Amino acid sequence: MSQKRKLPLLLTKCLMIFTLICNQEGVIAKEGMWIPATIKSREKDMKETGLQIPVELLYNENGTGINNSVVLFGKGCTGEIISGSGLLLTNHHCGYGSAQRLSSEKKDFFANGFWAQNLQEELPCPGLTVTFIRKMENVTNRVLEGINEMDNDASRDTLIAKKITALEKEYAASTHLDAQIKPYFTGNQYWVAITETFKDIRLVGFPPNGVGAFGGDDENWMWPRHTGDFSLFRVYAGADNKPAEAAAANKPYQTNQFLSLNIGGYKEGDFSMVYGFPGTTMEYISSFELNQVYNINDPISIQARTKKLDVWTRHMTQNRETFIKYTAKRAGVANGWKKWQGEVLGLKVNNVIKKKQDFETSFQKWADGSSAPQYASFLLRKMNTNASSIDDFMKRDQYVKECLLAIELIQQGAEIDKLLSLMRLNISADALSDTIKKAADGLAGFYKNYDAPTDKDVFITLMSLYFITNANTLPPKFQAQYLDHKQDMKAWAEDLFKNSILTSADKIKEFAAKAKANDSSILLADPAYQLFADLKTYRAENITPRLKEYTTNMRYLNRLYMHSQMAMDSKRSFYPDANLTQRITYGNIKGLDPDGPAKYSFQTKLGDAIALEDSTSENFKVPAKLKHLYKTKDFGRWAVNGDVPLAFVAMNHTSGGNSGSPTLNSKGQLIGTNFDRAYEGTMSDYYFDPNRCRNISVDIRYTLFIIEKLGGAGWLLNEMKLVRK
């Protein structure tokens, strides 16, 4: 059997993994994603787990807390500041999109990497932002004052929205910073975050895929891992060291708050914590909603994405230009695809739905008692009725999203909608022509990364799946076009991609160059747009209203259910579900070896990656220079027992959005960069199992080794603070 651990889709083949559970001796797993501003309440527990510094250093409002070193990177990742000149460390996959936009066949950063040798070589990343959290404050009383918890959510939301708008303006005026208020505990609490967002961010270092994406799909969401999943950026500021629009005159952001990098290492059992911006968890939902995840959404998404990824992979393997166009998109699609497989398996093996049902039995007994709020007794019955009534609509919509809207040509129908809106404007012919040309030019970014032959194969594959699984509920135009082509999917695809103007930027520009107000008929006749428009109408009339009604009802019931759970167990320390706000989670470094006798425990090394090298596999190619460094043992100061530590696992409760988060030791020093979870524990968004849930981090020593020895960018280490104790 190959050393590379291939993951089958058939979940039954994976069940044997869980008969080999990690040793429980010494395990200290700490479920929870805690709001930094409340971390004082966790001090005793954190100290007992191993924390050696005052919790006030983790978060404070006087500007000296670690909260000022941990940033929201872009729209959904985490980063950490590692120098006084704004140097930022995050994941390779978080920087992937920015690197892709800067890459080309001549400057192929995925094959060769990128390493700035000085400040002047750092590359601007248009549109990329970095947000600092300066302060968090509980504003629940001000937001919910005078609002009855039994009010329906439509009227309640209107009142709350007005209060939030006023409060955000008030905080912005008093702090001269940005302010954002978000709900916590399903709308039972509200917190304001005072933030500062920088808009001039530049790429500094990006390892080649042979390091930063080593293992590809084979190792994604797996332990052991051998991926150097990191990249480097720098935050730039205006002359006053404040956020400024991107400009050549901007300077590196200067700060006294940055993380020290501990190069002294760690051992199994040591305290660790992850500080970041986890995206979404649903730990407190009912069994009815979890059943929808387990039996509807995840299986459909896995089914459709398996087929789409097969098509993309085939085309990307055959053509390097297609690879560059689709590599970032493929990574995003594949990430969810594999995560959901682990999620379904974890939920099944842990029998989580049954555990939810057992809790609900206890809850109902409490809810029927005299100490519970009057509304508590009907919550579960209403939630069950609400969920069961929507299952069929949820299935139909999931297939629409994962099949029809996963075809890029159909997605682009939205752009014709925009052009049609412009053509209805009552403006002069010259103004209309100029407006349409600008709109067409704005599509250049999409078409730079679009390949029509690849998308045509996706169309054939996913449309076939959709017609099989939704034979009795097909949108009318889809059925009509299919019949017009004598039920020949390939003939339909050939005709569609030949005649639609949406297949290339040149066709769009050609139309825009001649377009007049009465040319809307050309757009309306476009066969791809007709599919988009028909699908839009079909969803609006047959699916969306029911889903919207369901979501509104369930949000109301879940808010009361969350409130009731907290009332039922008032001594329990509840943490709010993740919502892409700053959180702290902590535990211990602890191995996981689901495949049997321990070859790997809590750490992998460079030698383990070299042993997997396969020049015939895109996923397991090792850069020639890295192989040479290993062969000659040219590890420099990063050598530990004749090798270089690469990655490690710990028992921290993480989620999507924690990508790029700093993994810190007991002194708040950086020992690694979080980038993944173990496949066996991806169900932690719904249920945390200390036996199986592990977060995976790149060892900071491997990061520094790659920067210095492979990238030849040792100048960057001079601005970092490296410590051994």
In this structure, the answer to whether residues 229 and 141 fall within a common structural domain is no
CB 247 within 8 A of CB 200: yes
Query: Measured between alpha carbons, how far is residue 377 from residues 360, 373, 553, 560 in Å?
Result: 11, 8, 17, 11
Please give the pLDDT value at position 594.
58
In the three-class reduction of DSSP (H, G, I as helix; E, B as strand; rest coil), residue 122 is classed as coil
Please give the pLDDT value at position 582.
98
In this structure, the answer to whether residues 706 and 590 fall within a common structural domain is yes
- The CA distance from 331 to 229, in Å, is 13
Residue 260 per-residue DSSP state:
-
Q: Which of 517, 478, 522, 480 is nearest to 502 (CA)?
A: 522
In this structure, the answer to whether residues 190 and 226 fall within a common structural domain is no
In this structure, the answer to whether residues 18 and 78 fall within a common structural domain is yes
Q: Which of 83, 98, 103, 659 is catalytic?
A: 659
Please give the pLDDT value at position 513.
87
In this structure, the answer to whether residues 138 and 63 fall within a common structural domain is no
In the three-class reduction of DSSP (H, G, I as helix; E, B as strand; rest coil), residue 13 is classed as helix
Flag whether 164 is in a domain: yes
Query: Measured between alpha carbons, how far is residue 84 from residues 74, 230, 236, 669, 719 in Å?
Result: 21, 19, 12, 15, 7
Flag whether 565 is in a domain: no
- The CA distance from 325 to 240, in Å, is 39
**Type of residue at 546:** R
Flag whether 601 is in a domain: yes
Flag whether 603 is in a domain: yes
Told to judge if 659 belongs to the known catalytic residues of this protein, a careful annotator would answer yes
- For residue 299, name the pLDDT band (cuts at 50, 70, 90): very high
Flag whether 86 is in a domain: yes
In this structure, the answer to whether residues 676 and 713 fall within a common structural domain is yes
CB 443 within 8 A of CB 508: yes
Q: Which of 83, 92, 93, 697 is catalytic?
A: 93
Residue partners of 722: CB distance under 8 A and separation at least 6: 260, 261, 263, 704
Backbone φ, ψ for residue 201 (5° rounding):
-120, 135
- The CA distance from 207 to 354, in Å, is 45
Tokens 């996963």, located at residue:
406
360, pLDDT greater than 90: yes
- Region 492-518: what's the mean pLDDT? 91
Please give the pLDDT value at position 11.
35
- Region 339-343: what's the mean pLDDT? 95
Query: In Å, how far from its chain's centre is CA 512?
Result: 36
Other C-beta atoms closer than 10 Å to the C-beta of 213 total 23
Please give the pLDDT value at position 597.
52
Q: Which of 561, 154, 155 is nearest to 384 (CA)?
A: 561
Flag whether 327 is in a domain: no
- The CA distance from 692 to 684, in Å, is 9
Residue 605 per-residue DSSP state:
E
In this structure, the answer to whether residues 682 and 595 fall within a common structural domain is yes
CB 312 within 8 A of CB 276: no
Q: Tell me: the pLDDT tens digits for 43-86? A: 999 999 999 999 999 999 999 999 999 999 999 999 999 999 99
Query: In Å, how far from its chain's centre is CA 71?
Result: 15
Supply the range of the domain harboring residue 152.
131-197
Q: What percent of the chain has pLDDT over 90?
A: 84
In this structure, the answer to whether residues 156 and 74 fall within a common structural domain is no
CA atoms within 13 A on the CB side of 168: 15
Other C-beta atoms closer than 10 Å to the C-beta of 433 total 17
Reported pTM:
0.88
Please give the pLDDT value at position 411.
94
Flag whether 480 is in a domain: no
165, pLDDT greater than 80: yes
80, β-bridge pairs: 70, 89
Please give the pLDDT value at position 422.
86
596, pLDDT greater than 70: no
Q: Tell me: the pLDDT tens digits for 18-43? A: 333 333 334 455 799 999 999 999 99
Average pLDDT, the chain: 93
- For residue 711, name the pLDDT band (cuts at 50, 70, 90): very high
In this structure, the answer to whether residues 28 and 177 fall within a common structural domain is no
Lowest-confidence segment of 300-309, 310-319, 600-609 by average pLDDT: 600-609
In this structure, the answer to whether residues 191 and 218 fall within a common structural domain is no
Flag whether 449 is in a domain: no
In this structure, the answer to whether residues 166 and 35 fall within a common structural domain is no
Please give the pLDDT value at position 444.
87
Please give the pLDDT value at position 21.
33
CA atoms within 13 A on the CB side of 156: 18
Told to judge if 315 belongs to the known catalytic residues of this protein, a careful annotator would answer no
Q: Which of 229, 451, 526, 699 is catalytic?
A: 229
318, pLDDT greater than 80: yes
In this structure, the answer to whether residues 225 and 180 fall within a common structural domain is no
16, pLDDT greater than 70: no
17, pLDDT greater than 90: no
- The CA distance from 690 to 46, in Å, is 17
Residue partners of 651: CB distance under 8 A and separation at least 6: 27, 28, 29, 30, 587, 588, 589, 590, 690, 693, 694, 695
Lowest-confidence segment of 146-150, 172-176, 390-394, 697-701 by average pLDDT: 146-150
For the chain, what is the domain count? 2
